[in-house]
Amino acid sequence: MKAPKVMSHIKPAHIVCSKEDIAQVVIMPGDPLRAKYIAENFLENAVLVNQVRNMYAYTGNYKGKRVTVMGHGMGMPSVSIYAFELFYYYGVEKIIRIGTCGALQPELEVPDIILANESYTESNFAYSYNGDPTHLSYPTKSLNEKIKSVAQEKGIKIHEGSVMCTEQFGFYSDNEHVLQRVPKEIRLLGEEMETFALFHIADSFQKESAAILTVVDSKYKETFLTAEDREKSLNTMITLALDSI
């Protein structure tokens, strides 16, 4: 199904800059401060191009490639707003989400990296968005293959598999009853809160998307990355995404 139509007089309300300020490739962490960290530590000639609602977006160069790094907030409603505006109003061709997740399999350790090859949700997000009753969404296969190739070249171990996109933070809810309802043919590696919406919206525009996720906690382990740890200890995932553009 295609993306919903927008009335012609409606302008983007959450990203305010010129179309030329946004690169065609966007790397999206959830935390806008992580976008700031990436711009300051990985990009050359980075310029702040959006700060509406403090959702920072920076455009600069990485190894000669123009790229925008922008936060998307927490949850499907938030990421859907920014992904939609980037694709619809700013002509973005590719979005790679770099986020955090909780492990749902005992073999995963903190801070292992997951490359999502599908995202499952119980949410009716897709049905509300464009009438699609699906509860599964998918990244772009060619982009995932590129990320896997770069990971192999750089010696980065990644786990490829399914993730669950929830509407609440797992540790703050009784999510065991949710996990028990997941179709048995889906083996979930991790849970997070945004990937389903990103994949579904990208597909509706026939644009590219992917999600690289770092495990920061686990239902099987007591290890837990703090907010301070998360901001600056995710460099492997960041460089993997940047080198894959």
DSSP state letters, 118-172:
EEE-SS-HHHHHHS---SEE---HHHHHHHHHHHHHHT--EEEEEEEE-SS-GGG
Question: Are 204 and 130 a contacting pair, CB within 8 Å?
Answer: yes
Q: Rounded distance, CA 195 to CA 175, Å?
A: 18
Angle, CA of 189, 190 and 191, to the nearest 5°:
150
Beta-bridge partners for 68:
26, 59
CA 7 remoteness from chain centre: 27
Q: Rounded distance, CA 124 to CA 59, Å?
A: 33
Q: Rounded distance, CA 130 to CA 65, Å?
A: 33
Structure tokens at 42: 């990985």
Name the nearest CA neighbour of 160 among 121, 128, 197, 119: 119
Name the nearest CA neighbour of 50 among 61, 41, 39, 42: 39
Structure tokens at 166: 């929830």
Asked if 217 is an active-site residue, the reply is yes
Catalytic residue among 31, 112, 217, 243: 217
The residues carrying an active-site annotation are 217
